[in-house]
Amino acid sequence: MFKQLQKIGKSFMLPIAILPAAGLLLGIGGALSNPTTVSTYPFLDVAFLQAIFKIMSSAGSIVFGNLSLLLCVGLAIGLAKKDKGTAALAAVVGYLIMAGTITSMLGIFKPEAPAIDTGVIGSLAAFLHNRYRNIQLHAVLGFFGGSRFVPIVTAFTAIFVGALFFVIWPPFQQMLISSGDAISKMGPLGTFFYGFLMRLCGAVGLHHMIYPMFWFTELGGVETVAGQQIVGAQKIFFAQLADPSHVGLYTEGTRYFAGRFATMMFGLPAACLAMYHAVPQAKRKLFGGLFLGAALTSFITGITEPIEFMFLFVNPFLYVFHAFLDGVSFFIADILNISIGNTFSGGVIDFTLFGILQGNARTNWMLVIPIGAIWAAIYYFSFKLLITRFNIQTPGRGEDGEEEVKVTTKSSLKDESIAVIRALGGKENIEDVDACITRLRVNVKSVDKVDKDALRKIGATDVLEVGGGVQAIYGAKAILYKNSIEDILGLEE
């Protein structure tokens, strides 16, 4: 069950990875074509420039307008064991037929009801694909056997799923709305728990199971924007961003985003500085690049795993403390009405696009600066105190602190990947291999055959055993190892 949850969680990462590019287009295009911005900066009032900005805005909007389809395809690709392209095609066919079935039934029985938009068919398409991709039919129908059978059976199944969702989805949808309403009524306290629990789940890579529910479903709110009913915090934010008539602060759905910026841009980089200063003076030169790279990654992109995995495994209490501070950051952003959205994470890129460029009147982005300065001080002094007081073995403080980090090159990648395979117990012990941003995620038949120390010697920050599998933290190299291992083992067909 845990393995399946991990697969579902990482499957969301494929479509979500598209969002920064789409957000960049919508953020720049929407901000610079907004009538208020144009009137403030008259040099932008050039027909050619405005045409470009409007095209950029429309290009970004179309991605966010079809998130359910993208999530559907992402689920199918992520959950399919092999021949993922066929699974993706089946998911698209199933999604379109399911949506058509639901729309038709709504038109007949409930013309006034809002449309039902869900990508759940993606997981069903993956299930049918894994079950029937090698099916053999009678000779007369032989052409339609094998992988060709998958889109066909998915298409017919989607009709029944559409009819089923027409019946069961409205109560479930109402339950989500009620849950979101309950969290909303909790006010800033609910926002704190959202930030705190999501960060805690990040320790085992299950945070991808939490935030999509708030970003893309009724849990994140329901609002009418430009005459259309929009559900999900991120969908609402980008609908408002694309609406030139929107005035005032952005929706309160930004409460699920705004708390990230103080932690990711200020807090965790300051924690890096504290860990650097906790390294003995003689060793600092060896680890300066490591801490600087991780700090810049968090500040610019909002990717925090390279920092968090420096202390998560050596002292989980420190991670819980960090999760608590992150929850408090969400709490503060909520009570101060900071209304900055984001596409992927809380780095300076999203801060600039969806905070600064949108104007302080819409986002209250200026408040992030003093809060960030306070957060940097809290993280720095608390981390420095805890690390030195309890002798926490962050990088540079252990017995092997003299060693430099090994650099992977194209020529050495295959050799390192082979070493990783051996450390995982060999080909016969590996069931499935994948990677998120920083973790090599491997489902194995027996975790007892995994040599964690060998994985660390190859460069893993640490190795986490979860639900019958392992997660080796390799930073940006995780995806390189994943692709190389699949090529070596022939896992992709």
Active site residues: 436
For every residue of 310-362, DSSP letters joined together read TTTTT-HHHHHHHHHHHHHHHHHHHHTT-----SS--SHHHHIIIIITT-HHH
| Nearest residue to 17 (alpha-carbon basis) of 63, 86, 84 | 63
Token pair, residue 167, equals 């019946």
Contacts of 148 (CB under 8 A, 6+ apart): none
For every residue of 78-98, DSSP letters joined together read HH-SS-HHHHHHHHHHHHHHH
Q: 3-state DSSP call for residue 228? A: strand
Beta strands at 228-231 and 222-225: parallel, antiparallel or unpaired: antiparallel
User: Environment class of residue 247 by beta-carbon count within 10 Å: exposed (0-12), middle (13-18) or buried (19+)?
Assistant: exposed
Q: Dihedral of the CA atoms 476, 482, 485, 489 (nearest 10)?
A: -170
Task: Calculate the alpha carbon distances from 189 to 194, 211, 315 in Å.
Answer: 9, 17, 27
| CB-based contact 341:238 (threshold 8 Å) | yes
Q: Which residue is associated with the tokens 């990508």?
A: 119
